[in-house]
Amino acid sequence: MKRKNKTRNIVLGVTGSIAAYKAAELVRLMKGRGWDVRVVMTRSAVEFVSELTFRTLSQHPVGVEMFGNFDEWMPGHISSADWADAVVIAPCTANVIAKIAHGLADDLLTCTVLATEAPVLVAPAMNVKMWNNPATQANIKIIKSCGISVIDPGTGDLACGYQGKGRMAPLEKIMSAVEISRKGLKRRSR
Give CA–CA dist 128/133, Å, rounded. Answer: 8
Cα separation of 153 and 138, whole Å? Answer: 16
Instruction: Name which of 29, 182, 187, 164 is nearest 118 in CA terms.
Output: 187
Query: What distance in Å separates the CA atoms of residue 15 and residue 109, rounded to the nearest whole number?
Result: 9
**In a 10 Å sphere around its CB, with 0-12 CB exposed, 13-18 middle and 19+ buried, how is residue 179 labelled?**
middle
Q: Taken in order 4, 90, 24, 26, is the CA torsion positive or negative?
A: negative
Single-letter amino acid, residue 129: K
Which of the following is catalytic: 92, 111, 146, 160? Answer: 160
Verify whether residue 92 is a known catalytic residue: no
Q: Which residues are catalytic?
A: 160
